[in-house]
Structure 1
Amino acid sequence: MEYHDGERLSHLGDVPEMGAYRYGDRTAFRTSYGQEITYEGLEERSKKVANALIAEGVEPGDRVGLFVPNTLQFPPAYFGAVKAGGVAVPINLRMDPDSMVYVVDNAEVDVMIASDKVPGGSAEDIAAEADVSTVMLPGGSDDAPDGVDVVDYDGVVEEASAELDRPEREFDDVAVQPYTSGTTGDPKGVLLTHENLLTTIESYSSGGLPIDPDDSILLILPLFHIYGLNALMGSFLYVGGSMVMQGVPNPTLMLNAIEDNELTAFAGVPAMYNMMFREYEKNPDDYDVSSLDYAICAAAPLAEDTVEKIETEWNVSVAEGWGMTETGPAGCVEPPRGVQKEAGCVGAPVPNLEIKLVHPENRDEVRVAPEDLEPAGMAKGTLDFDDEDSVTGEIAVRGPQIFEGYFKLPRKNDAVFDDEGWFYTEDIARVDSDGYLWMVDRADDMIIAGGENIYPAEVENGLYEHPDVAEAAVVAAPHEIKGEAPVAFVVLEEGVEEGVDITEEGLREFSLEHTARYAHPRRIFFVDELPRSATQKVQRYKLEDKAEDRVDGALESSEEL
């Protein structure tokens, strides 16, 4: 990735400077309310944020928490934190407060930049519980908790200089530390370096995605998730595109934003597409989406009938892809203007990333080598595509996009990396004769509901807080909007009577107090026992079959709490 003077870009914080040089007063971000930031304005504001952070004591390597939604505050806060030499820690605003406290505390956040536009959560209270001394909040606060210094963010940024003597950071220094949930339910800090993030941007902008300077996109995917943060925002900034910021995935607002701004691209999760198309079908004449050239589906597969409807009625190519927080999120993408496959295909590896498929239970057995996925390799005919098992395996990836490891989790790092630098994802895929990958299974029984990753253990642990619950197992069931959503099978303590001592509705309400709202079980089924294998492991596949039978088709939106 070259800078304007021909030197290789080696600092994530230089992305706005490069944009200011290349694209000047072109609009980088705007809202539906007429507010905007130009490329030059983003660079100036980011440097002022950096100076304000340095004045608050931020030193190279310090963690800066970002408690900010998809507003114009986010981009300069993010790049300002990195320009100051800090490590940006985007906080998932959909987490329950306890999980937010865990993330902020685990990340060792020194200073938190917060927004006054976050419903249902107080950055000051979270900071107090996590021992963060300073919160930078627009307008400040007259009611700060003891031990927390709340600074007027807008005031100190406006007063700060736009001339920055940027602290030096190395290419392999950590720049961003997003969090992802683990199988135990505890979020894990993912250490992404300047190299990881910049190389991923390069992979997407130089062939992974068909972005050019005339493109504009609705930035509706949360910027606290890596796909919106780096694959979209980072890549669009690199090529000089324009982004419309929107924080609430309301179908009418999204459709209006496409029409009003004549957007050329849309990227969302299946739930967003389902909501939008249902709204569109009610009154097709009310919405004009003819400006769209392509659409991208992230996080989970899009139903084949939905893809067909969008491509037919909107005349838009829909591409799917695969990536992880740990890969920055470099992975695979189906080119919207290239070979088109059925729904479920995630495409070919992005440039500069090696992928191989190994035996799920014996990683030493390579089923599909990296060279097999190259065009020349596919032509050799060494793979037997009639034998699906032989071309199916766990995805392992290697390249400059891959993270340094999990924060303060050395054992986990040893388990997912080998001595040759391969990262084993625990995701299972198969390859077809075009070198395109198809997802077969997801790691650790993860549920993806409307783009949010939900691990069963998180929900189960919340249910176990109830004294009447003896056993619990959470699995995915089909959902009409979100694609899938969690349901729970619960064994009650001896002597507890369903309908008398406990009800499904009461236990669902209880679960909301102990897990994130997006992760609560949409249905709870009381059973006498859970199916188990000979080794006493819960046989989740049997429960998934039961769940599909019991919901009789798909969960409905009316079953949300």
Structure 2
Amino acid sequence: MAARNLSKKAQRLLTSRSILLSSRKQSSVWTADNIAKSPHRDIEIPNRVITEHIWENMGRWPDKTAVVCGITNRSYTFHELYKYSRNFAAKLRTQMKIRDGDAVCLMMSNSPEYAIGVLGALEAGAAVTTANPIYTPYEVERQIKQADPKVLIGVPDSVPVLKEALRLAKRDIPIIALKNPDSILPEKTISFQELFLADNVDYSVLKDVSRTPEDVALFPYSSGTTGLPKGVELTNRNLVANCVQQDVETMRVYEETTKSNQDVTLGVLPFYHIYGLSVVLLHKLSAGLKVVTLPKFQPNTFVDAMKNYKINLLCAAPPLVLFLGSYPGITEEHLASVKTITCGAAPLPRTDVIRVLEKVKHDMDFLQLYGLTEVSPLATCMPPGSKDYTKAGYGISNTELRVVDQDQRLGELHIRGPQVMKGYRNNPEATKAVITEDGWFKTGDLASLDENGAVTISDRLKELIKVKGYQVPPAELENVLKEHPDIIDAAVLGIPDPRLGEVPKAFVVLKEGGKIQANEVTSFVSERVAEYKRIKDVVFLDALPKNPSGKILKRVLREQY
């Protein structure tokens, strides 16, 4: 555990953690069917929606800061966050005519108002979908067509993209914009501030909202195990379960909020991604933590926020850990208040962890965890106090794990628990392909379980390319390539890159008479996808290797090229 003045109760808790998660006790997690059960106690999942869960304990900390901008210091207390979220919800019901189950799409960078947008939409009875603020109009167009939102929420920088996406999709949807203090409201948009700061709001319209734990609350887009992005339907029960699972005393990575204590976490992971939205924002608000937001990662603002806000808990992805260990501007002073760093999104080399730990002069937890959008997202985590930096952890409460292969110790990791998604939005075939009849979610990741039930992620069975922790689906890039009038067929692979982890490489077959250069191909793709998805290399082939059923043999491409 991190260095701190431990009370007798805390010392007992630390001891109980060690006992519970000892090897002797861990042998009992295995069932006769080779299923590894969670070593943590089972929990009862509250029968409520996610907003009720977040506000449940607000009376204990109404005047504490809930969210604050790490650059401008603009902030809202928990009471203000509750009030403004309900204001926004009421305006969505009255002015935007939002009804139960309607979709609301947020395309914003991290800010204190992101919380108001999400919680307000949920309070209005909507289901929230999120879009990456660096998406191109083509990417947003596809999500608009799939998600069918009734309202779009953006910032001035994203409004032109939203408008172009609507034109491409042939849709007429109102755009709500969060105005910058030093800018004017974009033309033909509705002021976000005027909606949530409104006076004399009629809250009675919120009595008409009727949402249950089984209703979908969020549907962020993920590539799943393969293919194009799909809307992952996460119910209120899924999200509440994953919140409560993180509160169990044997795996809790924060100090409880009291009159005299409030832990501080940094919201630098993007909120459009489920890791940032669920683990960093929603869960930490439910526990009364202060969330410091940064609109994007930049070395100077990140370093300043770490020091100025005395961050206690840092939720990270591998590129951020690499930065912490290698950037000379990060010193012990910046990490002095950090008690715990958690890292997910991709496997992390032990050497990267050691570089970070060598910078601190106090005892600090560094815990690997594992999850996916489809499991809300947390499935496993190393317990506080662990010094094993290679494993992704044990199943969290109420969670079962298994690997499917001959020896039941190495193979595809399957997960079963209350956090497993309802399914892919309007895609029963894709849902059936990844969720078994008895509730197991097939992750598509190759993993092993040790004798104590701890997970090590070995590789991906799925074809997703990991660029700096971002998931890039080859099928999406292949579809873009084949939109070019001179390209008849295409395949995309991820190839190793020392700086980015992997980068996409394209194998292209031209139509008869087609004459284009590699730089023309990369430029064509770059105009249509976010920067991290861009093709870095192009190989022209006469034909792609395929099996008798027509599936591209990417293994052959990888071996030959």
Shift of 1:429: 1.2
Distance in 1 (alpha carbons) for counterparts of 2:380 and 2:461: 17
Alignment check: 8 A CA contact 1:265 1:294 kept: yes
For 1:348, the equivalent position in structure 2 comes to 394
Moved more, 401-410 or 159-168: 159-168
SS in 1 for 2:58: helix
Corresponding residue number in structure 2 for 1:507: 521
Aligned residues: 500
Q: CA deviation at 1:200?
A: 0.5
CA contact (8 A) 2:449 2:456 kept: yes
Tell me what 1:215 maps to. Answer: 263
Pair 1:521 & 2:535 matched: yes
Match of 2:146 among 90, 100, 106: 106
Contact 1:127 1:135 in 2 (8 A): no
**Is 2:347 the partner of 1:301?**
yes
- Whether the 8 Å CA contact 2:353–2:389 is kept in 1: the answer is no
Q: What pairs with 1:40-55 in structure 2 (closer than 5 Å)?
A: 40-55=79-94
Query: Does 2:484 correspond to 1:480?
Result: no
Does the 8 Å CA contact 1:393/1:429 hold for their aligned counterparts? yes
Aligned to 1:73, the other structure's residue is in SS state helix
Amino acid at match of 1:358: V
The superposition leaves residues 218-239 of structure 1 with CA deviations (integer Å, 9 ceiling, x where unpaired) of 1111111111111221221122
1:401, CA displacement in angstroms? 1.1
Q: Secondary structure at the match of 2:237?
A: helix
Task: Return the match for 1:159 from 198, 207, 219.
Answer: 198
Corresponding residue number in structure 2 for 1:25? 63
Q: 2:61, 2:530 → 1: CA distance?
A: 41
Q: Where does structure 1 differ by over 6 angstroms across 4 or more consecutive aligned residues?
A: none
The CA distance in 2 between the partners of 1:467 and 1:112, in whole Å, is 32
What is the match of residue 103 of structure 2?
Answer: 63
In 1, Cα distance between equivalents of 2:159 and 2:123: 30
For the Cα contact (< 8 Å) 2:340–2:365, is it kept in 1? yes
Distance apart, 1:411 and its partner CA: 1.6
The within-5 A match list for 1:385-404 is 389-404=407-422
Q: SS in structure 2 opposite 1:288?
A: helix
Letter of the 1:351 partner, please give it.
S
Identity percentage of aligned residues: 27
TM-score (norm 1): 0.82
C-alpha displacement at 1:443, in angstroms? 4.4
Matched residue SS, 1:411: helix
Give the corresponding residue for 1:382.
Answer: none
2:440 aligned partner: 422
TM-fit CA distance, 1:402: 1.3
Hey, what does 2:212 align to over in structure 1? 170
- Residue aligning to 2:52: 14
Question: Cα distance 1:323–1:162, how it changes in 2: closer, same or farther (>3 A)?
Answer: farther
Distance 1:358 1:184 in 2: 18
Higher relative contact order (CA 8 A, sep 6+): 2
Give distance in 1, aligned partners of 2:175 and 2:487: 40
Q: TM-score, normalised by structure 2?
A: 0.82
C-alpha distance in 2, partners of 1:400/1:49? Answer: 30
CA distance in 1 between counterparts of 2:535 and 2:192 reads 38
Superposed CA deviations along residues 381-419 of structure 1, whole A, max 9, x for unmatched, are xxxxxxxx5401222222221111111112222222232
8 Å contact kept, 1:109–1:132: no
CA positional deviation for 1:42: 0.9
After superposition, where does 1:141-152 map in structure 2 within 5 Å? Answer: 143-144=187-188, 150-152=189-191
Which has the larger displacement, 392-401 or 522-531?
Answer: 522-531
Q: CA deviation at 1:122?
A: 3.2
Q: Structure 1 unaligned runs (5+)?
A: 1-5, 145-149, 360-366, 368-388, 548-561
Matched residue type, 2:190: V
Contact 2:137 2:528 in 1 (8 A): no
Partner of 2:429: 411
Question: Are residues 1:274 and 2:322 paired?
Answer: yes
SS at match of 2:175: strand
Q: Against the structure 1 CA distance between its residues 266 and 290, is the aligned structure 2 distance closer, same or farther, given a 3 Å change threshold?
A: same
Letter of the 2:382 counterpart: E
In structure 1, distance between residues paired with 2:331 and 2:186: 49
The 3 A distance-change label for structure 1 pair 130 and 157 is farther
Q: Contact 1:183 / 1:457 at 8 angstroms: preserved in 2?
A: no
Instruction: Please give the residue correspondences for 1:235-250 in structure 2 after superposition, counting only pairs within 5 Å.
Output: 235-250=283-298
Q: Is the 8 A contact 1:476 1:544 kept in 2?
A: no
The amino acid of 2:317's aligned partner reads: V
Take 2:332 and 2:444, find their aligned partners in 1: how far apart are those partners?
A: 44
* Alpha carbons of structure 1 residues 130 and 286: separation in structure 2 relative to 1, 3 Å: farther
State whether residues 179 and 188 of structure 1, in contact with CA within 8 Å, keep that contact through their aligned partners in structure 2.
yes
1:191 to 210, 216, 233: 233
